[in-house]
Structure 1
Amino acid sequence: MLEALHSTAGDQAAGLRRLFGARPPQVIAFVSGRDACGRTTLLVQTAAALAQAGHGVVIIDENPGPNNALSAFGTTSRHDLMDLVQGTRSVQQVMRPAAPLVRAVAASRFADELLHVDAVAADHLSAGLRQIQQGASFVMVDCAARRGGQISPLALAARHIVVVVAAQSVAITHAYALIKRLARERGRDAFQVVVTRARSGEEAQAIFDNLRRTAREHLGVRLDHLGSSCVPVTDHLADALQSRLPVGTGDAEGGGFLPFEVRPAQRRGASGHAPKHLESVL
């Protein structure tokens, strides 16, 4: 699919790109309670399918190499979203062309170092994201699974959170724990769910039904079944993202992210530099 993507940029796609600014892009954070659930593969295949359909896509990749989304498109980046937040690099330097209609931004250092956002960082981040989103219909954040269930400020600001859960008991337990944490501590009341590595569509549906019932009864949150992928992971979510996600309500100029939760800037040390933010956003 990725090879075919390079031959699909034609006049129709160019026309569609000119229309993308009519509404904010759909911003989706792909999260999981643990790694090895097929999240990155699913995201890459979905981005490729969306681009083939003529949609501009931006991937924000919080995972370090070598098996991250950037490497799947055969590209790397010398710079990180953190460089943009710190004002040392421009959007043009941070963003990489991955394929026709697909652009990618490395953000592993951002996700590791900036665990909460102060007012200065929020201004830099919001301004940069407005530029990053230009020409895109979809912005997809591949959110790395980190110890303690920490989620980056970027993923927390996504309008849609897709929880990717593998058809394994441990993965299901971790996925539910992540949903519980985000619901109780971040006020999220709705999530999209994708079940991967199921042996059949029936197994995937059963896993989702149990997860939805438990989340509704114990957390009071709504889970929607975005899709599923059986072994091996060869499916994508392009159709589901185009037809099943609620349309974003943000303004086109401001972009598709929710406002960032801003915390007061920390006091600068004797060296004159602000210490690293080490507290968890959760």
Structure 2
Amino acid sequence: MTKLVADQADGLRRLLAHTPTRVIAVAGMGPGEDAAAATMNLGAALVHQGKDVLVLDEHGGTAAAICAAWAIDPLGDLADVADRRLSCEGAVARAGCGVGVLPAPLGDRHAEIDPRLLCRGGVVLIAAQIDAEGRLSALARMADELLLVLQPSAASITSAYAGIKRLHYAHGLKQLRFLVDGVAGAEEAQRITTNLANTGSRYLAVSLEAAGWVRADPHLADARRLRQTVVEAFPASPAAVDFRRVAVDMGGWPWRPAARAVRSVAAPPQGPRVDPPWVRATPAQRAAVA
């Protein structure tokens, strides 16, 4: 019996060793969009599922920096790992819930490292910044999925649509997912997601898929004051339940062909980087918005 259990455990380890790394870029689409908090909560919820989670934070040195929100201090950043001054584990700061955070300030050599090599078999969340021209960094463009965070207000939805339009023209955007944060309930969320998806399809030929929603919850502010996520501090709260539901759904998202980095930490260049499908539009889609 002992040998059977050992064989089964070894088989499970071998199976998990070949699990691909999922990379998701998370970005806010307007003033007041707390995409960093959404990234942190999704990371904590994924760890709760037993996932190994690494957050690459492009907000280093700003008020939205995730290390500051969690009150943790990294020993380095993504450039240190790319230049082999530090190992990933040596540079990462680890939150109390188990999420690893590595600052990835804009302007560093993001295109020269494949995030999939930093968290093999786990989930990499890129807390992405969108620049003034509506462009993503080279690092964020390596993601398998782009998840946009917006709020249910008219101003936020208008800003989100304008941002999606800029992303479309900047990158030939083909598809993305969005999360509505701060809704009153399922009915409001359904109305917003349906309207936004229809608008994107009709006017931009962009597939906008709802990733879910999170209810407005006063516990979010309490958790922030405690330097934790609501998933950690108040796991039974409505927002924590919603974040865990979205995290579970993320595991069922279909796998898309992964982008290749220009240079990885472990290997020399293997050819030009290929953008994933969500940043490529077909000729028909480009003609539809011309």
TM-score, normalised by the number of residues in structure 1: 0.71
| Distance in 2 between residues matched to 1:179 and 1:18, nearest whole Å | 40
Residue 22 (structure 1) aligned with residue 18 (structure 2): yes
Q: Pick from 90, 94, 99 the counterpart of residue 93 of structure 1.
A: 90
Amino acid at match of 2:20: P
Structure 2 Cα separation of the partners of residues 21 and 177 of structure 1 = 41
Q: Residue type matched to 1:83 in 2?
A: D
Judging changes above 3 Å, is the alpha-carbon distance between structure 1 residues 144 and 49 closer, same or farther for their aligned structure 2 residues? same
Aligned to 2:166: 181
In structure 2, distance between residues paired with 1:182 and 1:208:
19
Aligned-residue offset at 1:145: 4.6
More moved, 56-65 vs 17-26: 17-26
- State the Cα RMSD in Å: 3.3
Matched, 1:132 2:121: no
**Residue 66 and residue 33 in structure 1: after superposition, are their counterparts in 2 closer, same or farther (change >3 A)?**
closer
Q: What per-residue deviation string (whole Å, max 9, x for no partner) do you get for residues 167-191 of structure 1?
A: 1222212211222122233122111
Q: Using the alignment, how far apart are the partners of 2:22 and 2:51 within structure 1?
A: 11
1:269 alignment counterpart: none
Select the residue among 249, 255, 261 that pairs with 1:240.
249
Match of 1:199 among 181, 184, 187: 184
Question: Shift of the alpha carbon at 1:166?
Answer: 0.8
Matched, 1:82 2:67: no
CA deviation map 1:191-248 (0-9, x unaligned) = 11111112222112211111111111111111111101121252312112112x1124
Partner of 1:275: none
1:83-111 per-residue CA deviation (whole Å, 9 max, x = no partner) reads 3345544433332233465222111x2x2
SS in 2 for 1:213: helix
Taking the TM superposition and a 5 Å limit, the aligned residue runs for 1:5-154 are 19-64=15-60, 65=62, 67-99=64-96, 101-107=98-104, 109=105, 111=106, 113-114=107-108, 122=111, 124-126=112-114, 129-136=115-122, 138-154=123-139
**Structure 1 partner of 2:229:** none
CA gap 1:135/1:77 in 2 versus in 1, 3 angstroms = same
**1:54–1:101 contact (8 Å) kept in structure 2:** no
Could you tell me which runs of 5 or more consecutive residues in structure 1 were left unpaired when the two chains were aligned.
Answer: 1-13, 263-282
Give the partner amino acid of 1:213: N
1:139–1:78 CA distance, 2 compared to 1 (3 A): same
Q: Answer yes or no: is the 8 Å Cα contact 1:17–1:56 preserved in 2.
A: no
Match of 2:201 in 1: 216
| AA partner of residue 117 (structure 2) | Q
Change (3 A) 1:171 1:71: same
Contact 1:23 1:251 in 2 (8 A): no
CA deviations over 1:56-104 (Å, ceiling 9, x no partner): 1111111235553333444122422133345544433332233465222
Partner of residue 5, structure 1: none
CA 1:16 to 1:139, structure 2 compared with 1: closer, same or farther past 3 Å? farther
1:37 Cα deviation (Å)? 2.1
Q: Is the 8 A contact 1:28 1:160 kept in 2?
A: yes
Structure 1 residue 20: deviation in Å? 3.7
- Counterpart in the other structure of 1:170: 155
- Deviation, structure 1 residue 161: 0.4
- Shift, 1:21, TM fit: 3.1
